[in-house]
Amino acid sequence: MSEWIGTANSPYSPYAMEELRRVIQGVTYTQLAAGEVFKFDSPLDREATLRAIGEEEPIFLRHVQPVDRTISITGNADDLESLSDTIRRAKLTFEGRMTAVHVRRASGTSYPYSAADTKAVIDAVLLEVDAEPVVQQPDIIIAIYAAKDQLYIGFGKPDEMLSDWPGGAVRFQREEGQISRAKFKLLEAERTFGLNYANFRQALDIGAAPGGWTSLLLERGLRVTAVDPAELHPSLAAYTTLTALRKNASEVSFKPGTFDLLVCDMSWSPMQMCRLITDLKDALAPGATAIITVKLMHRKPLQTIREVKERLSTVFHLRKAKQLFHNREEITLHLQKK
């Protein structure tokens, strides 16, 4: 048996629970934050649960945290003292290791301290036990979730929690002159799928306007062909490496094997998207990578995802499907051309 906190994008936690139910028979749930955070009890031990999740990672499960300790919240200074003592007693887990502290507070929690104040206190305790408090690239994470009347505490490596950000909420700083927030989706996809866009040469951006994804690829040094009947942001005209085609994707054709990267973030129906992407298959080099968002516009997202996977499987191998933090009513696919 093992206890866990699961987190998904609101309101998709029911789908994360359904996916977990398929990979862990007998799992049970308690809702902590409606549509987003839930506790689940696995009949498997910790290692077997992690193995089951890793072998078939749920699309909608953004973050997972083991529950190694539980503290009843009193609403006063005793909470912080109990939390500090819990970390001291587990000193061998952190000694000599770079350790990050992630604190999340549920709406309506009776825990009185802010995430920042809690982290500052626990960082001081880590120094006492010869650990190195860090923010980035930790060896191990202390994850603390303050529910209504309980503190749930878990220790684990970043890959075990599916993210090295608190609750999997990946944050990027908005840049001056940034064309759109859609750029964050492509940045998060790069991190999540272990890519480096600078390693590609020629990119095809379908449904590019206003140009958030195109701008990132141009910044990384790629030559980009952007296809959209709408106009791109004027700032992109400064790039000599950009070819802008003001056409529908169904109206363009290219020499075979032209592109080693295809990206697509269109607000179209999933089936129309599949048809457009597969029709452009000859323009992609063998082994080309594709990053595609799938809009979940219907009430049966799992069925939509199954149908999209089936249609795209004629051309691509699916490397990973994930609802990223910056996705809303959509998921992102990482594909490779057969």
Respond yes or no: is residue 157 known to be catalytic: no
User: In the predicted model, what is the mean pLDDT of residues 192-203?
Assistant: 97
How confident is the model at residue 256, as a pLDDT?
Answer: 96
Residue 319 DSSP SS3: strand
Residue 160 DSSP SS3: coil
Contact present, 216 and 273 (Cβ < 8 Å): no
How confident is the model at residue 199, as a pLDDT?
Answer: 97
Q: How far is Cα 20 from Cα 193, in angstroms, rounded to an integer?
A: 21
CA angle 115-178-171, nearest 5°? Answer: 20
Question: Residue 173's pLDDT band (boundaries 50, 70, 90)?
Answer: confident
Whether the predicted model's global pTM rises above the 0.95 cut: no
Give 256-277 pLDDT, tens digit per residue: 999 999 999 987 789 999 999 9
- What domains are there in the chain, each with its CATH number? 2-168 (3.30.2130.30), 182-337 (3.40.50.150)
Q: How far is Cα 95 from Cα 167, in angstroms, rounded to an integer?
A: 24
Give 229-255 pLDDT, tens digit per residue: 999 999 999 999 999 999 998 899 999
The two three-digit tokens of residue 133, written as one number: 């408090």
Burial of 316 (0-12, 13-18, 19+ CB in 10 A): buried
Catalytic residue among 39, 119, 295, 337: 295
Amino acid at 227: V
Q: pLDDT higher for 226 or 298?
A: 226
How confident is the model at residue 90, as a pLDDT?
Answer: 93
Give 136-163 pLDDT, tens digit per residue: 899 999 999 999 999 999 999 999 999 9
The two three-digit tokens of residue 58, written as one number: 């749920």
Amino acid at 165: W
Helices (H) and strands (E) counted in the chain, each on its own, are 9, 16
Question: Residue 299's pLDDT band (boundaries 50, 70, 90)?
Answer: confident
Respond yes or no on whether the N-terminal peptide bond of residue 112 is cis (omega within 30° of 0).
no
